[in-house]
């Protein structure tokens, strides 16, 4: 092991501290500020994207409800231009074996007064999705700035071979 002489220690400069100067720190902070200012707008509009995703999920729920109801209608031979199926204790209106956009007569779920597609799609309590039982039936996200730009329209089946048409109107700008 080599011994250091006291002369060697005195030659080492203790004044050479390692670290950043104030100007270097200020430059880094300015660069981070510029990056944050350019990236922030991309993250601000996430609510519009989230609403659009919710509406896509609702569209998937509508498709599932249509397929299940249509399968039951096929089993029960309910493929005429009008009809109804019973699920649980409620009756649902059909058009060519597919769920109807609007309820029949009173639409209270009793036989001859079938419920529309909006009643087949189960939404959580407090959901911001509103359903109009008109023809076509419209599912809108009420939290959107312009609800008409964040909606799904459900139109009745044209015949027993053509399923209902679900038309999305999902604009990221409109859903925000």
What Rg, from alpha-carbon coordinates, does the chain have?
A: 32
Host H or E run for residue 39:
helix 22-44
The model carries a pTM of 0.74
Per the omega criterion (within 30 degrees of 0), is the bond before 93 cis? no
Tokens representing residue 156 in the block = 């009745």
113: CB partners within 8 A, 6+ apart: 91, 103, 104, 105, 106, 107
Helix runs in 77-157, H state only? 117-120
Q: From first to last of the 176 residues of the chain, give the pLDDT tens digit.
A: 555 555 555 555 555 667 888 999 999 999 999 988 887 777 776 788 888 889 999 999 999 999 999 999 999 999 999 999 999 999 999 999 999 999 998 889 999 999 999 999 988 888 899 998 776 799 999 888 888 889 999 999 999 999 999 999 887 676 87
| Number of residues that this document lists for the chain | 176
Q: Which residues pair with 166 in a beta bridge?
A: 154
Return d(Cα 174, Cα 48) in angstroms, integer: 7
Domain ranges of the chain: 47-175
Which is it for the CA torsion 112, 139, 132, 161, positive or negative?
negative
């Amino acid at each position: 092991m080599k011994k250091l002489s006291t002369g060697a220690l005195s030659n080492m400069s203790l004044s050479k501290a390692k670290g950043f100067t104030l100007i270097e720190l200020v430059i880094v902070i300015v660069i981070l500020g510029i990056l944050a200012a350019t990236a922030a707008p991309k993250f601000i509009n996430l609510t519009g994207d989230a609403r659009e995703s919710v509406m896509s999920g609702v569209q998937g729920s509508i498709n599932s409800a249509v397929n299940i109801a249509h399968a039951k209608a096929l089993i029960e031979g309910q493929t005429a231009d009008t009809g109804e199926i019973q699920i649980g204790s409620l009756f649902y209106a059909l058009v060519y074996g597919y769920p109807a956009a609007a309820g029949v007569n009173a639409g209270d779920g009793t036989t001859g007064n079938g419920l529309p597609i909006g009643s087949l799609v189960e939404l959580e309590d407090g959901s911001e999705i509103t359903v109009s039982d008109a023809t076509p039936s419209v599912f809108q996200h009420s939290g959107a700035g312009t609800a008409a730009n964040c909606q799904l329209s459900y139109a009745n089946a044209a015949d027993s071979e053509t399923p209902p048409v679900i038309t999305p109107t999902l604009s990221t700008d409109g859903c925000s």
